Amino acid sequence: MTTPQEELLPGTRRALLHRIAVAQAEGRAPSLVATVVRGGRAVWHGARTSVDGHGPDENVQYRIGSITKTFTAVLVLRLRDEGLLDLGDPLEKHLPGTGAGEATIADLLAHTGGLAAESPAPWWERTPGSLRPELADVLGEGPLPHPVGRRFHYSNPGYTLLGALVEKLRGASWDEVLRSEVLEPLGLDRTSFHPRAPHAGGWAVHPWADVLLPEPSEDLGRMAAAGQLWSTTGDLAKFAVFLAAGDDRVLSADSVREMRTPAAPAEAADVMDGTSYGLGMQVLRRHGRLLVGHSGSLPGFLANLSISVEDDVAAVVLANCTSGPLLSAVGADLVRIVAEAEPRIPEPWRPLREVDADVMELAGQWYWGTYGFALRLTADGLASLEPLSGAGRRSRFRPNGDGTWTGLEGYYAGELLKAVRRPDGTVSHLDLGSFVFTRQPYDEGASVPGGVDPDGWRGIG
């Protein structure tokens, strides 16, 4: 469904068009298409092309390369949510005999499985998948050049193993499972295993001359789960909405949030670049904002999906060239343009409908030693603990229904917060993972580890 472009201001639309026009011209892409998503739907589409009188729209297919990995990760998380596997399971438990079975399923999703980046020669992206009919042909001899679980090392064969895992547990081909469990429920009817008209042709652009060479389009066979798919900006816009909010027909909001959470240890270069990896999703910081999504490339095509959940803006950018515009930068810029020109209008503040008196008693100022914190109860039913100085450990907490709370993020993620009460029922202090929070700094009336000097606070005399 196409949403009227008037939903964005004219100046914003022109800035978006200018950005993709510069990318297409300077990157020498035969064509480049882009879509921006806001408020759960596409609100802008733009295209630039070298062919007079032809402007690809949001229904023209391009090959999306490694964005396919995010689709594969969704299938694996569905298996986990159904109880058919655990992310901590070694691959060997479900898919024995690969030679890489020591890696866990989470390792493979996060590219920490120790596997090589590519399959053995010849280059899999430019040769038919029939050359690699078995997993052993994809993995080669000695498939683990790195220790399992120790470092992030992007691996296409790792996602081939995940595709094979899906097939084993579902008893059907990867593409059949994808179609029935993800594409059809989300209405992605222009995303397919093979190209369907209208679709763009893939081109190589000569680095030193403005001439083209057609690229072959291969069926990747066993490697399909790592990069086979064709899609459109229209379909990927819908997919972006799903990755931001979830859809209980496919994956819950909690599960897609888990996909967006960094899961791989960062290399030194990644720390400098502000990039990390979740479960089938890239996580990076650009222009001061957190972006999640994925990039993709195959001979003849480039692709990028960038989502800022906080700004409620996403961008899809596709081009039909082997090298050219840096689409991750273009996608980040499209998100930034909309987020800065038309910042998200927050929902109206609304008070809590009801609050328990025992919970209300916890609100206010607390001290961990001499560090001041504020505990607030928010309308979404959560509690937030924030340092009064503005810098320091902070987290939101989810109530467990038994008077305790579980941390959701940062240092306190997964840690238990509970109120410790005196015999008369009043709150003595808060216990957060063994840290004691008191109403006064080192409150002598509370159970402060190490005790409190009986002479109390004093000056230097």
What pLDDT, in 10s, does the model give residues 28-46?
A: 999 999 999 999 999 999 9
Q: pLDDT tier at 5 (50, 70, 90 boundaries)?
A: very low
- pLDDT of 2 strictly over 60: no
Q: Single out the residue in 283, 314, 341 at which a domain terminates.
A: 341
Question: Within this chain, do residues 173 and 198 fall inside the same structural domain, yes or no?
Answer: yes
Structure-token pair, residue 247 = 């859809």
Residue 271 pLDDT level (bands cut at 50, 70, 90): low
Residues 329 and 362 in one domain: no
Q: Name the domain count of the chain.
A: 2
Alpha-carbon distance of 64 to 72, in angstroms, equals: 13
Residue identified by tokens 């998948």 is 129
We report the CATH number of the domain holding residue 171 as: 3.40.710.10
262, 284 contact by CB (below 8 A) = no
- The confidence score (pLDDT) of residue 4 equals 42
State residue 51's pLDDT score.
87
Whether residue 327 is found in the same domain as residue 383: no
Q: Taking all residues of the chain, what is their mean pLDDT, rounded to a whole number?
A: 94
Same domain, 331 and 370: no
Closest CA to 280 of 264, 291, 265, 269: 264
What the block records as the tokens of 50 is 């070298």
Structure confidence at residue 105 (pLDDT)? 98
- Structural domain contains residue 29: yes
**Does some domain include residue 98?**
yes
In a domain, 160, yes or no: yes
Q: Return the ∠ at Cα 37 (arms to 35 and 40), rounded to 5°.
A: 145
Q: Looking at the domain assignment, is residue 52 inside a domain?
A: yes
Same domain, 289 and 402: no
Do 91 and 163 fall into the same domain?
yes
Residue 6 has pLDDT above 70, yes or no: no
Domain that holds residue 395: 357-437
Which two structure tokens, joined as six digits, stand for 83?
A: 């109880």
Identify each DSSP E strand in 215-288 by its residue range.
230-231, 275-277, 282-286
Determine the longest span between alpha carbons in the chain, in angstroms: 87
Helix (H) or strand (E) holding 97: none
CA-closest candidate to residue 330, choices 287, 298, 282: 287
**Strand 212-214 to strand 416-421: parallel, antiparallel, or no bridges (unpaired)?**
unpaired
Residue 442 inside a domain? The answer is no
> Is the domain of 315 the same as that of 399?
no
Distance CA 76, CA 91 (A): 12
- At 111-125, the pLDDT tens digits run 999 999 999 999 999
pLDDT in tens, 293-327: 999 999 999 999 999 999 999 999 999 999 999 99
Classify residue 460: in a domain, yes or no.
Answer: no
Tokens read off for 16: 């978006």
Contacts of 181 (CB under 8 A, 6+ apart): 75, 78, 250
Question: Same domain for 322 and 382?
Answer: no
The residues, ordered by sequence, that sit 6+ positions from 30 with a Cβ below 8 Å of its Cβ are 49, 50, 51, 200, 203, 205, 212, 319, 320, 321
Q: Mind giving me the DSSP string for 308-326? A: ETTTTEEEEEEE-SSS-S-
Does residue 314 sit in the same domain as residue 396? no
Is residue 220 domain-shared with residue 113, that is, in the same domain? yes
What does the pLDDT look like over 189-230, one tens digit per residue? 999 999 999 999 999 999 999 999 999 999 999 999 999 999
Among 344, 338, 320, which residue's Cα sits nearest to residue 233?
A: 320
Residues 226 and 158 in one domain: yes
Q: Which of 386, 415, 422, 410 is nearest to 400 (CA)?
A: 415
The C-alpha atoms of residue 251 and residue 253 are separated, in whole angstroms, by 7
Q: Is residue 218 part of a domain?
A: yes
CA pair distance 61, 119, nearest whole angstrom:
27
Q: Residues, the chain, total?
A: 461
DSSP string, 103-151: SBHHHHHHT-S---SSPSSSPGGGS-GGG--SHHHHH-SS--SS-TTTS
Could you tell me which of 421, 442, 444, 443 has the C-alpha nearest to residue 431? 421
Region 427-446: what's the mean pLDDT? 93
Residue 287 counted as domain residue: yes
Label residue 272 by pLDDT band (50, 70, 90): low
Q: Express each pLDDT in 46-86 by its tens digit.
A: 999 998 877 899 999 999 999 999 999 999 999 999 999 99
Q: What is the CATH number of the domain that holds 397?
A: 2.40.128
Tell me phi and psi for residue 126, to 5 degrees: -120, 15
| Tokens read off for 237 | 């816009």
At which of 311, 341, 371 does a domain end?
341
Give the 3-state secondary structure of residue 456.
coil
Residues with Cβ within 8 Å of residue 317, at least 6 apart in sequence: 20, 23, 32, 33, 34, 233, 303, 304, 327, 330, 331, 334
Are residues 147 and 218 located together in one domain of the fold? yes
Q: In this structure, what are the phi and psi dihedrals at residue 293, rounded to the nearest 5 degrees? A: 150, -140
